[in-house]
Amino acid sequence: MRSRALGFILVRIVLASLGVVTVVFLALRLAGDPVAISMPPGTPLDVQEMYRKAWGLDGTLWQQYLRFTGKLLQGDLGHSVAFDRPAVDVILSHLSATLRLMFGASLVAAVYAYLSTGFFWVAAEKRRFLRATELLGSLNAVIFALSDFVMAILAIIIFGLYLGVSFSPETGRWNLIIGSFCVGLPFAAYFALASRRLAESHLKHPQVQFFTDATSTTWRNYHSLFLPVLLRQLTSLLLLRFVWLAAGTFVVESVLGIRGIGYLTIRSVQQRDINITQGVVLMIALLSVMANVISDASQSRKPPGPP
């Protein structure tokens, strides 16, 4: 039964991914001739035709689609015009900065969410700190409402204008650290907001009330009674939000000058490097597809009711 469910998930991922690839392929063609878009204005037609054949963009639309999917299965995203290198190599060379930013943001989010949800649990179990709980809840709501983009703008104003911190891609030293907070805090605030009501409702369960009224310490109850339930309840939410976190790094990179995938995407759009843009869009879309399918599958298998 488990292998059958896994097979069903894989089929859904493959079908959804095929749909994403098709949509991206058609969208690029609807926007205009990819060769004419990539080439500088005034490029002779014979030169455009030479590149069209080299990039596999000659022939009918159906033939182009088959070549496109065939190369994609081989990991070939075409050639980057701006970098004069294979598009896959260019994307991979910028991926490390994005992964470092995602790791830093995940670390910031984990620490902040752990402390926030722990405080909400203590306040709910002890039935104390009501005013502090309201203040922390309001703070989390504000942080989440600001979003990573606004946080990055505020970081430039505070650290760049007032403290003189450089966010230049060449000389910036604090880009990744400040960027980690800009991306990680809204992600953690969303998680903390969802945990507050869950803590209060979870304590109403008779079995949980029995243990919390016994001699067990508050923090032991938090780790053994509440935290596992919280993670199980919010698994699908965390998965989808993790994709949102990955997309957030793209925005913050372009604002703070971090040479990652987001920085590369903005540059490729400015330079009309269609293969780089196409590869990044496909990567984000496929990541979102897998996250949604896995999230739906985990949501459907979630056991009802408190533990």
pLDDT digits (tens, 9 = 90+) for 2-51: 666 667 767 777 777 777 778 777 777 776 677 777 777 777 877 777 87
How confident is the model at residue 216, as a pLDDT? 55
- The answer to whether residues 256 and 143 belong to one domain is yes
- pLDDT at 208 exceeding the cut of 60: no
Under the banding of pLDDT at 50, 70 and 90, the label for residue 307 is very low
Q: Are residues 142 and 226 in the same domain?
A: yes
Verify that 135 and 156 share a domain, yes or no. yes
**Res 180 pLDDT > 80:** yes
Q: Are residues 97 and 234 in the same domain?
A: yes
- As a whole-number percent, the residues of the chain with pLDDT over 90 amount to 2
237, pLDDT greater than 70 = no
**Chain mean pLDDT for the chain:** 77
Number of domains in the chain: 2
Residues 143-162 have a mean pLDDT of 85
Instruction: Give the contacts of 11 (CB within 8 A, at least 6 positions apart).
Output: none
Do 221 and 140 lie in one domain? The reply is: yes
- Map tokens 């037609």 to a residue: 45
How many helical (H) and strand (E) elements, i.e. helices and strands, does the chain have? Answer: 13, 2
The domain in which residue 115 lies consists of 88-273
Domain stop point among 76, 111, 137: 76
Q: Determine the pLDDT at residue 306.
A: 46
Domain boundary among 44, 76, 108: 76
pLDDT class of 304 with cuts at 50, 70, 90? very low
Residues 6+ apart with CB under 8 A from 58: 49, 52, 64
Please report which confidence band the pLDDT of residue 174 belongs to, taking 50, 70 and 90 as the band edges.
confident
Is residue 283 predicted with pLDDT exceeding 50? yes
pLDDT above 80: residue 81? no
Strand blocks (E) in the chain = 79-80, 85-86
Please tell me whether residues 144 and 243 are part of one structural domain.
yes
